[in-house]
Amino acid sequence: MKDVVMATLPNNELNRLIKIELTVQTMIEQGLIDEEQFNEIMNEED
């Protein structure tokens, strides 16, 4: 079983992460990056 770690972030850091997420989603929608490849890259870190 994996451990779950909870953390808090300052608002500016949380806003930055949200902006990154929205940017990636927009790039996927515009076809600039492939969603499958992106997901594979993200899963490599696990």
Cβ 20 vs Cβ 12: under 8 Å = no
Read off the pLDDT band of 3 (50, 70, 90). Answer: very high
Q: What tens digit of pLDDT does each residue of 5-38 get?
A: 888 989 999 999 999 999 999 999 999 999 999 9
Provide the pLDDT for residue 7.
Answer: 87
- Residue 9 sits at φ, ψ, to 5 deg, of -125, 150
Alpha-carbon distance of 24 to 4, in angstroms, equals: 25
* The pLDDT of residue 46 is above 80: no
Angle at 15 between CA 40 and CA 30, to 5 degrees: 45
Cβ 12 vs Cβ 26: under 8 Å = no
**pTM assigned to the model:** 0.70
Alpha-carbon distance of 10 to 12, in angstroms, equals: 6
